[in-house]
Each structure stands twice: as structure tokens, then as C-alpha cells.
Amino acid sequence: MKFNAADLPDNIPVFPLPGAIVLPRAHLPLHIFEPRYLAMLDDTLKTAHRLIGMAQPLPMSPEKGLHRIGCAGRLTQFTETDDGRYMVTLTGISRFRITREAAGFAPYMRCDVNWQDFSGDLGGVEKDNFADRAQFLSLVGKYFQKAELSTDWDNLKDAEDEIVVNALSMMCPFEPEDKQALLECETLSKRRETLTTLMEIALHSGGEEKMQ
């Protein structure tokens, strides 16, 4: 489904999950089992847009609110297990800014949101124009080796810039605040630069806390 600005609702359900972000046109798999979020999925499936917002709790005080910027994904894959759990995939549509948490009787969080600062997310695939893609992928390889991560390198080497940068931003085990910084980057090139810095810091420091 192709979205334009008029398709985006002013109020959406929000799933607060530290360390998890979705980016435009990227895919985020989720395993849903808590009753309140099962109810959220049931309600989302009844809507035409099938959008769920992903937003990270504020550091050290998740009970006090969320980061103002999140990203909405459309529910594009859905499987229910025999014991009532859901395996779903969200496909990123657009980032948003939370204006307020909406009152209501739903067991899950709903927020009023504003999309206007992120109209570019609804456009076509974003290009990065790597200065040296081979050097970047070499850094990724060193980071993955240190972090004991694996990926399909053949597909990664041939993938479009946006797929590479956004997939790495979502899957690398950075701290939640670092993930938030990646989410909020204004351009794909800026996100790649931030990603490069985070991987270099992890390599130079040893990254023990995330690479055990």
C-alpha cells in the first residue's frame, strides 16, 4: 500500500520497546504475547491503514514517557501460533512526532502524532552515494566479527544504499539512545555516518557490554 500525507491518521497505537526501531521501507519482525499488545494488534487489523507506532521509552525512566520521535510501520505479515501468540512484521512508513498521549479505555498506549516534519519518508528510496562502499562494508565485517553477528554478505553487498544502512541501524546491538540517534538522523548519509561512528567506537573500546 502506497501512503501519502492524507492517508496518515492523527492518532495511532504506540508500542514502547527499548532498543527496537523501524525505519521507512525497512522490515521489523516482532513477537507479540502480552495481552494488552495482543489487543492492540486485534484493533489494528480492523483499520484500513494498519499502522502501529514504534517509540522508545525515555532512558532511566520508562514510566515517565517516550521519546517524542518514533516511526510507524504497517502490519504487513501476521501469523498466529497455536497458543495465541502473534508473529508479525511491520514495514516502516514514516516517522512522527508525538504531541500527546491520548486518553481512552484501550489497555495499550495511543498517541496523537504529527507527521509534517518527516514528509520525505513517504518519497522514493533514499540514496546515500557512498564515498567508499567497500571501506564501509569492511568496517561492518569487523564489527560483526567482534559482535559475533552474522548476515547474508552476498545480498548485503548488492543491496541498495537505503536497505544496507537502515537494516544495519535496526539490527546492530547498540544502546537504545544510540538507536534513537540513528532514527532521528535527517538524511540517509547522516545515518550512515552515525552508524560508522558507533561501530568504530565499539571496535576501539572493545564493546564488552554488547559483545559478550
**Domain enclosing residue 54, as ranges:** 5-122
Residue 212 lies in a domain: no
| Pairing mode, strands 110-114 and 86-101 | antiparallel
| pLDDT for res 163 | 93
Residue 1: pLDDT over 80: no
Last residue of a domain, one of 122, 147, 181: 122
Q: What is the mean pLDDT of residues 41-51?
A: 95
The domain tally of the chain equals: 2
Question: Is residue 79 domain-shared with residue 20, that is, in the same domain?
Answer: yes
Torsion of CA 117, 122, 128, 133, to 10 degrees: 130
Mean pLDDT of the chain: 91
Q: How far apart are the first and last CA of the chain?
A: 41
Question: Is residue 21 domain-shared with residue 92, that is, in the same domain?
Answer: yes
pLDDT band at 130; cut points 50, 70, 90: confident
Question: Is residue 91 domain-shared with residue 138, that is, in the same domain?
Answer: no
Question: Is residue 185 domain-shared with residue 115, that is, in the same domain?
Answer: no
Question: Is residue 150 domain-shared with residue 193, that is, in the same domain?
Answer: yes
Residue 125: pLDDT over 60: yes
| pLDDT for res 169 | 97
In a 3-state reduction of DSSP, which class is residue 18? coil
Question: Is residue 113 domain-shared with residue 34, that is, in the same domain?
Answer: yes
Taking the CA atoms of 126, 28, 156 and 191 in sequence, report the sign of the dihedral they define. positive
Task: Give strand ranges (E) for the chain.
Answer: 11-16, 27-32, 51-55, 69-80, 86-101, 110-114
Question: Is residue 29 domain-shared with residue 74, that is, in the same domain?
Answer: yes
Question: Is residue 64 domain-shared with residue 141, that is, in the same domain?
Answer: no
Query: What is the spatial distance between Cα 158 and Cα 155, in angstroms, rounded to a whole number?
Result: 5
CATH number for 109: 2.30.130.40
Q: What is the pLDDT of residues 90-102, one digit of tens each?
A: 999 999 999 999 8
Residue of 106, 136, 127, 123 whose CA lies nearest to 44: 106
Question: Is residue 86 domain-shared with residue 13, that is, in the same domain?
Answer: yes
Question: Is residue 113 domain-shared with residue 24, that is, in the same domain?
Answer: yes
